[in-house]
Amino acid sequence: KGDTGNVYISDAKGVRYSLSLPNNIRTSTGECEFDKVLSLEGVYLANFKDSVDSSASVDGGQQGDLEKLEEEIEEEAEGVQVDLEKKHKSVATRSRQEEVIRTVISFDKGGVWSYLKAPKVDSRGQKIDCPPDRCWLHLNGITRFSDFAPFYSVENAVGIIMGTGNVGSYLRPEKDEANTYLSRDGGVSWIEAHKGAFIYEMGDHGGLLVMADDTKKTNQVVFSWNEGQSWYDFELGAAPLFVDNIVIEPNASSVEFLLYGKREQDSAGVLFHLDFNALNQQQCKGIWAADSVSSDYETWSPSDGRAGGERCILGKHITYTRRKQTSECFNGRDFDRPKVSK
Domain boundaries, given as residue ranges, for the chain: 281-341
Q: Answer for the pair 59, 82: CB distance below 8 angstroms, yes or no.
A: no
CA distances from 181 to 66, 152, 155, 264 (A): 29, 11, 18, 28
Average pLDDT (140-155) is: 95
Instruction: List the one residue out of 90, 71, 89, 68 whose CA is nearest residue 80.
Output: 71
How many CA atoms within 13 Å lie on the side-chain side of 38?
14
β-bridge partners, 283:
330
Q: What predicted TM-score, i.e. pTM, was given to this entire model?
A: 0.87
Average pLDDT (18-32) is: 92
Q: Between 156 and 70, whose confidence is greater?
A: 156
What percentage of residues in the chain have a pLDDT greater than 90? Answer: 71
Query: 193 in helix, strand or coil?
Result: strand
Lowest mean pLDDT among 56-65, 123-132, 190-199, 240-249: 56-65
The packing angle between helices 64-73 and 84-92, to 10°, is 170
- The 10s digit of each residue's pLDDT in 217-235 is 999 999 999 988 899 999 9
Distance CA 242, CA 223 (A): 18
| Residues whose CB falls within 8 Å of the CB of residue 110, separated by 6 or more in sequence, listed in order | 7, 9, 20, 21, 44
pLDDT at 31 over 80: yes
Pick one of 3.40.50.460, 2.10.70.80, 3.40.640.10, 2.60.40.10 as the CATH number of 281-341: 2.10.70.80
Note the pLDDT of residue 58. 38
- The 10s digit of each residue's pLDDT in 106-141 is 999 999 999 999 999 999 999 999 888 889 999 999
User: What sign does the dihedral 89-42-312-156 (CA atoms) show?
Assistant: negative
Note the pLDDT of residue 52. 75
Q: Answer for the pair 208, 231: CB distance below 8 angstroms, yes or no.
A: no
Distance CA 284, CA 187 (A): 26
Cα end-to-end distance, the chain, whole Å: 44
Average pLDDT (40-57) is: 80
